[in-house]
Every structure is written in C-alpha cells, then in structure tokens.
C-alpha cells in the first residue's frame, strides 16, 4: 500500500505550481508592501528638513548666549527660547522636536580663570528630527568648548531620549507584516474552498479517493509555504533598508505563528460560509478591522476596548513583533506565542469541524 503522504505531497506540489504560474496574484501584495518599506526608508532619511528647538538658557552667561546664537545659525533649526519645564512638556506633547537645557554655570570659570565643567541636556523623542539634530547640537557645543579652552573637553552634551529605540521602522513594520499575513492567509484561504465547492472541484477530488484531510492539509501547506517565503523576504528587505538590528529568526517565528492562525481562520470561514461570493466578503469584514488594529500600538486603546483588542490574535502578533523590534528576545514574547498557539488550536478545530465536500 502506498503511504498516505504521497497524495498529500502530490497535491501540495500541484497547488504550489498553480500559485507560481500566477505570480501577480500570489506575490503582488508582497511586492507592494516592499515598495511601502522603501517609501518609509525615503521618509526616514529625508525627515530632517527642519527641526524645532526650544532652548532654556538657565546660565545667562556670554558662553550660553553664544551657544544660543550658534543654534539659531545652524541650518534647519527653528529656535525659540522658553523655560526648562515648558521645553520638556513641549517635547512630550510632540509640539517640539528638541528641548535644549543650558544649565546654570555654563561657561563659568573657577580658580585661575579655567572654565568649569557643564552639561547641556538635549531631550527629544526617538524617531523624529531629534535623532539627527542631537549630533548638530553636540557639534555646536564642541566648537564653543574648543573656543573657550584648549584643555580636555569640559562642556558636553547628555542625551535624554524619550521612548528610546523607537523609529519609523518600529512603528511601520508590525503593521505591514500584519497586513500581509491577514491578506494572504485569511482572505486567500476563505475564498479558495468556497470557490472549489461551488465549481464542483471538491466532489471530483473526492471521487479520486483522496482523503479530505490530505486535500485540506495540502492546500494549507502550500499557502503556508508561500506565506513563509513572503514573510522572510519582507524581513530581509527591512534589514537591508534600515540600519538597525532586527532579530530576524525571532520575528520569523512570531510572524509564521500569526500566519498559521489567520490561515486557520480563513479555512474556518470557508467551511461555515459555503457561498463563494459571501465567504470573501465575510473574511474581509473580519480581516479589515484586524488590519486597522495592527497598524496602531496597544496604547492607543483604553478601557473595555483595550481589553477586547488585547485578546485578539492580531494584538498578540503585533505586540510580539514590536517587542522583538525593540530588542527583546523570544523569551519576552512567550505570552504572545502562547496566545497565538491557543487561537491556532481553536480555529483549526473549528475549520476541521466545518469542512464539507459540498453544499
């Protein structure tokens, strides 16, 4: 007797060949999302068209006033003066890119007329104009320090980075991955079997003696392999475009688990909704809110909405990706992996229960 895996292998290979013959349908969305990543890279590199600075001069010395003038003369800086507390609040609220606090004693001298050490505080939110502005401010302070004395540097800059480690790629990549996973897993799987059933393909396959499990697993395996390739290529593109460290193996594990969850959801929808026109519509009605949720961090939601959103599979998926992008390891996202595993078990059970060969 031939082993049972042979029909499964043959069906998987046939479905993969069919998908690869139509690369626009199989990889069109992926290509668009890679172009979006390239666009994000362009915005990331060009975002310092201008940086707004609030300067708090708490020293009021000739050196501090000279530094303010140097900052005003730096190309791309829009400088206003305020108190230290107001400057800090303005950065936290997103109204200002950088707060520069010149401390008391900046430029003061001690015994023998030697300048005393002082530290200019530069506060900004990561992912904005402050990232590039900090180096320009440090250069202005360094020039002033060199003009004040020729001894080892005394006037320095200390960066106070708010939401450290967060850049455009951190905000965009989880949403793009969730969009790709939901679109290519849930929506593709939901319409596939409803179309096969209405066209009589499933009945003809059943007549060959192929077990239902082989057909379902073959189709799931083919979509899963295509999705895994897309996820891997998108992560590789993000790594090449952005000069940041990405835990590619960890992110791949989380993304593949998410793909399995939404693939199971697609098969469950195609089993319960057998109309080939209604199945994709219902899958879209489920998937689009998930895509919307995946584009925003969890802090956007509050109260009961946050509690409901927090148990959705897309929340486990995007939270895990954001944690890994921020430098965490797989051990830190085990709760997200367990949540995705639980959803996968429930949805796979629902899909197997709902499967029918015909209407």
Give the best-scoring range by mean pLDDT among 2-6, 116-120, 171-175: 116-120
Instruction: Give the three-class secondary structure for 227.
Output: helix
Domain boundary assignment for the chain: 5-43+167-354, 48-162
Which residues, at least 6 apart from 7, have a Cβ–Cβ distance to it below 8 Å?
A: 210, 211, 214, 218
Once rounded to an integer, what is the mean pLDDT over residues 107-112?
A: 73
How many whole angstroms separate alpha carbon 84 and alpha carbon 103? 10
For residues 170 and 127, is the Cβ–Cβ distance under 8 A? yes
Per-residue pLDDT band for 339 (boundaries 50, 70, 90) equals very high
Which residues, at least 6 apart from 238, have a Cβ–Cβ distance to it below 8 Å?
A: 37, 169, 173, 246
pLDDT the model gives residue 154? 59
Which residues, at least 6 apart from 219, have a Cβ–Cβ distance to it below 8 Å?
A: 11, 15, 189, 192, 193
pTM listed for this prediction? 0.59
Once rounded to an integer, what is the mean pLDDT over residues 333-345?
A: 91
**Percentage of the chain lying above the pLDDT 70 cut:** 77
pLDDT the model gives residue 48? 45
User: Which has more confidence, 81 or 358?
Assistant: 81
| Residues 288-298: tens digit of each pLDDT | 888 888 777 77
| Residues 155-173: tens digit of each pLDDT | 666 656 554 445 566 667 7
| Residues 258-294: tens digit of each pLDDT | 888 888 888 888 778 767 678 778 888 888 888 888 7
How many whole angstroms separate alpha carbon 204 and alpha carbon 325? 47
How many whole angstroms separate alpha carbon 253 and alpha carbon 247? 10
Q: Measuring CA to CA, how many Å separate 263 from each of 181, 257, 259, 345?
A: 9, 10, 6, 12
Lowest mean pLDDT among 123-127, 194-198, 291-295: 194-198
Instruction: Give the three-class secondary structure for 123.
Output: strand
Q: Sign of the C-alpha dihedral, residues 152, 153, 158, 159?
A: negative
| Residues 7-63: tens digit of each pLDDT | 778 878 877 887 777 766 556 666 777 777 777 666 665 554 567 889 999 888 888
Q: Is the pLDDT of residue 357 over 70?
A: no
Q: Which CATH superfamily is domain 48-162 in?
A: abc type-2 transporter like domain (3.40.1710.10)
- 10 Å CB burial of residue 121 (0-12, 13-18, 19+) is middle
What are the backbone dihedrals phi and psi of residue 161, each rounded to the nearest 5 degrees, phi first? -90, 120
Q: Between vectors from CA 65 to CA 60 and to CA 70, what angle results, nearest 5°?
A: 155
How many whole angstroms separate alpha carbon 233 and alpha carbon 230? 5
pLDDT the model gives residue 101? 92
pLDDT the model gives residue 24? 63
| DSSP at 186 | I
pLDDT the model gives residue 112? 67
How much is the mean pLDDT over the chain?
77
Q: In terms of C-beta distances under 8 Å and separation of at least 24 residues, what long-range contacts does 278-284 make, across chains too?
A: 278/194, 279/190, 279/191, 279/194, 280/187, 280/190, 280/191, 280/194, 282/190, 283/186, 283/187, 283/190, 283/191, 284/187
Once rounded to an integer, what is the mean pLDDT over residues 177-186?
A: 81
| DSSP at 51 | E
Per-residue pLDDT band for 3 (boundaries 50, 70, 90) equals very low
Pairing relationship of beta strands 118-125 and 98-102 according to DSSP bridges: antiparallel
Closest-CA residue to 262 (of 352, 188, 338): 188
Q: What share of the chain is helix, strand, coil (3-state, %, to 5)?
A: 70, 10, 25
For residues 186 and 269, is the Cβ–Cβ distance under 8 A? yes
Helix (H) or strand (E) holding 111: none
CB atoms within 10 A of CB 41: 19
How many whole angstroms separate alpha carbon 148 and alpha carbon 171? 42
Q: Is the pLDDT of residue 209 over 80?
A: no
Q: Sign of the C-alpha dihedral, residues 188, 354, 274, 21?
A: positive
| Residues 222-251: tens digit of each pLDDT | 888 888 888 888 888 877 777 556 677 888
Q: Is the pLDDT of residue 150 over 70?
A: no
User: For the chain, how far is it from start to end, CA to CA, in angstroms?
Assistant: 32
């Amino acid at each position: 007797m031939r082993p049972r895996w042979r029909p499964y292998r043959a069906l998987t290979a046939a479905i993969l060949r069919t998908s690869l013959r139509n690369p626009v349908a199989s990889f069109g969305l992926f290509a668009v999302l890679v172009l979006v990543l390239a666009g994000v890279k362009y915005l990331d590199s060009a975002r310092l068209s201008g940086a707004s600075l609030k300067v708090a001069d708490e020293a009021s010395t000739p050196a501090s006033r000279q530094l303010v003038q140097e900052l005003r003369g730096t190309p791309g800086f829009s400088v206003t003066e305020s108190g230290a507390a107001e400057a800090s609040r303005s950065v936290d609220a997103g109204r200002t890119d950088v707060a520069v606090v010149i401390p008391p004693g900046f430029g003061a001298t001690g015994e023998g007329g030697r300048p005393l050490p002082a530290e200019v505080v530069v506060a900004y939110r990561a992912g904005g104009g402050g990232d590039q502005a900090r180096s320009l401010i440090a250069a202005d302070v360094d020039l002033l320090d060199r003009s004040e004395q020729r001894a080892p540097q005394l006037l320095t800059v200390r960066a106070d980075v708010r939401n450290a480690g967060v850049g455009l790629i951190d905000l965009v990549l989880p949403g793009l991955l969730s969009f790709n996973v939901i679109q290519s897993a849930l929506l593709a799987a939901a319409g596939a079997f409803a179309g096969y059933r209405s066209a009589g393909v499933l009945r003809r396959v059943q007549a060959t003696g192929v077990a239902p499990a082989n057909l379902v697993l073959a189709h799931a395996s083919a979509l899963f392999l295509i999705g895994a390739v897309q996820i891997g290529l998108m992560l590789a593109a993000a790594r090449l475009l952005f000069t940041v460290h990405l835990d590619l193996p960890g992110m791949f594990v989380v993304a593949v688990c998410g793909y399995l969850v939404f693939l199971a959801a697609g098969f469950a929808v195609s089993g319960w909704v057998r109309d080939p026109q209604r199945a994709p519509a219902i899958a879209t009605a489920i998937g689009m809110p998930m895509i919307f949720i995946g584009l925003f961090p969890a802090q956007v939601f509050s109260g009961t909405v946050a509690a409901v959103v927090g148990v959705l599979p897309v929340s486990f998926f995007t939270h895990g990706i954001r944690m890994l992008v921020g430098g965490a390891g797989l051990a830190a996202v085990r709760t997200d992996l367990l949540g995705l595993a639980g959803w996968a078990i429930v949805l796979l059970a629902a899909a197997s229960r709902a499967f029918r060969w015909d209407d």
